[in-house]
Chains A and B, each alone.
Chain A
Amino acid sequence: MNVVIVDNGGQFTHLEGRALRDVGVSHEIVDNTADPAEVVERADALVLSGGPSIEDVGRTPEYLESGLPILGICLGHQIIARQLGGAVEGGDHGGYADVKIHVEEDGGLFEGLPESFNAWASHADEVVELPDGFTRTARSEVCEVEAMQHSERPIYGVQFHPEVSQTEHGLDIFRNFVEVARGVHERGPDDPAVSS
């Protein structure tokens, strides 16, 4: 199985690679201008990295149509929201360094995790309206939508950074995503039984 990390210019993109390496899955990093057909061919799952600006996301929105399991991180999460019918705006309160994440929905990325844990964030904007078909799975005191997932398709977004060393259970989150992706990969993407 191969996970493709789409690089939106974030400073932690390589750490996402490191996390996947530590979870034991093959991965590669591609620029967000890569041809969607090529990306889909090489990937069994996608991670959309963070980055400095939502105006600078290359062809990332096109990869969302691929039907692959997707994990969007920070800007990646915001791209998913905006592209699929939600809204992103400047937050009242930026989130930097520690935030306490409160899990609202078990399972998915948070399978086996405690109800709350510390994570690190680095963002000024946030998702203010969930995209169609998504539910909020975690929140914090400084940000209402810390995590979301589609109710049927394997698409997830997290506003915080599971790939940095200070985020508790960061590696578990990657592990859970890889588990979901493996499940989809084994059953085949068109299997109607596929769910998160």
Chain B
Amino acid sequence: MVEPEEFVPEAIEEIKQQMGAEGRAVMALSGGVDSSVCAALAYEAVGERVVPVYVDTGLMRKGETAAVEEAFGTMESLRVVDARQRFLDALDDVVDPEEKRKVIGEEFMRVFEQEARDADARYCIQGTIYPDRIESEGGIKSHHNVGGLPDVLDFDEIIEPVRELYKDEVREVARYLDLPEEISERMPFPGPGLAVRVIGEVTEDKLHAAREATAIVEEELEEGGYDPWQALAAVVGKGTGVKGDNRVHGWIVAVRAVESRDGMTAQAIDVDWQTLQSIQSRVTGTLPDVARVVYDVTHKPPATIEYE
């Protein structure tokens, strides 16, 4: 286990070294614990020389944008970019998961590039953690915030303060730094966001179903007394249903809840029937175009936590 008391001063020192005496750094802030810890460390190291950029891709969870604005609003250098339509347009007709990740990565880069130019930034700070690196190098996932993004932008240096840490260790650091619980305990959320929680083409109606259903899953599991490493809902296909007396051909939503130490391996949680029914009832009851709800019992391996 990495010791926060040792790690934090070393990380701050490293950022100072890498950023030299002057120049600004941009960093991609997602609202998740990894980038939030980086923002906190960078702020300690160089203050307002850090420009955190939050991009609303339209692929974020319910209420995420508002939460970020609230948590980081006091940082004067914070920039919030509304890029929802851009991403949806870029994802038009894209169905292959690897292609989705590539398109999102590229679009994100373009938005970020503009922000970096506007901020006149020489450095880039990323919240990459160790599993992001392994899973990209091993060919399991191509997206992760590794390579691609800053390569093209010609920064003097790319700074990754938490690259050697696992998620559980980043949380320890977040708690040590006294970040709000809402952030330190926030569930992991994939880089490409809800785009990988819908099978096939990314459309607003599928996103809406995934977004709302995910919020329901997170709430109901908390109500039920669970504390998953990660929990989500994904639109995985289409199936028939009958609502009222009408035949429906609607979305099949898969519910996933796993326990894990570090995200490398994970077990599907044995969620009780009552909680599953609460989820099912709210999802099919409040989302007219969802026909049914299934629960994913597969561990990682052989599955991954997310669907794409």
What is A's interface to B at a CB cutoff of 8 Å? 9-15, 18, 22, 52, 94, 96-98, 120, 122, 161, 164-166
Contact = CB atoms under 8 A, between A and B. Distances in A.
A149 B138 CA distance: 29
Interface stretch (B51-59, B80-88, B205-213, B258-266): B258-266
A12 B130 CA distance: 11
Contact of A165 (B135, B138, B262, B302): B262
Given A22-B1, A97-B299, A15 B267 contact: no
A22 B169 CA distance: 13
Interface of B: 1, 130, 134-135, 138, 140, 166, 260-262, 264-265, 267, 299-302
Secondary structure type dominating chain B contacts: loop
Contact of B138 (A11, A22, A161): A11
A11 B134 contact: yes
18 contacts: A10-B138, A11-B140, A11-B264, A12-B264, A12-B265, A15-B264, A22-B1, A96-B302, A97-B265, A97-B267, A97-B301, A97-B302, A98-B299, A120-B301, A122-B301, A165-B261, A165-B264, A166-B265
A193 to B, nearest CB: 37
Contacts of A13: 134
Contacts of B135: 11
Nearest to A166: B265
Nearest to B138: A11
Contacts of A11: 134-135, 138, 140, 264
Contacts of B265: 12, 97, 120, 161, 164-166
B130 A14 contact: yes
B186 to A, nearest CB: 20
Contact of B134 (A14, A22, A166): A14
Contacts of A120: 265, 301
A122 to B, nearest CB: 4
Nearest to B262: A165
A22 B2 CA distance: 9
Contacts of A52: 138
B130 to A, nearest CB: 6
A22 B262 CA distance: 14
A18 B167 CA distance: 13
A164 B264 contact: yes
What 7 pairs across the A-B complex have the smallest Cβ distances?
A: A165-B261, A97-B299, A122-B301, A96-B302, A164-B265, A96-B301, A11-B138
Given A96-B299, A96-B302, A97-B265, 14 more contacts: A11-B134, A12-B264, A14-B130, A14-B134, A18-B166, A52-B138, A97-B267, A97-B301, A97-B302, A120-B265, A122-B301, A165-B265, A166-B265, A166-B267
B226 to A, nearest CB: 18
Nearest to A9: B138
Contacts of A14: 130, 134
B221 to A, nearest CB: 20
Nearest to B166: A18
B55 to A, nearest CB: 29
A22 B166 CA distance: 14
Contacts of A10: 138
Contacts of A22: 1
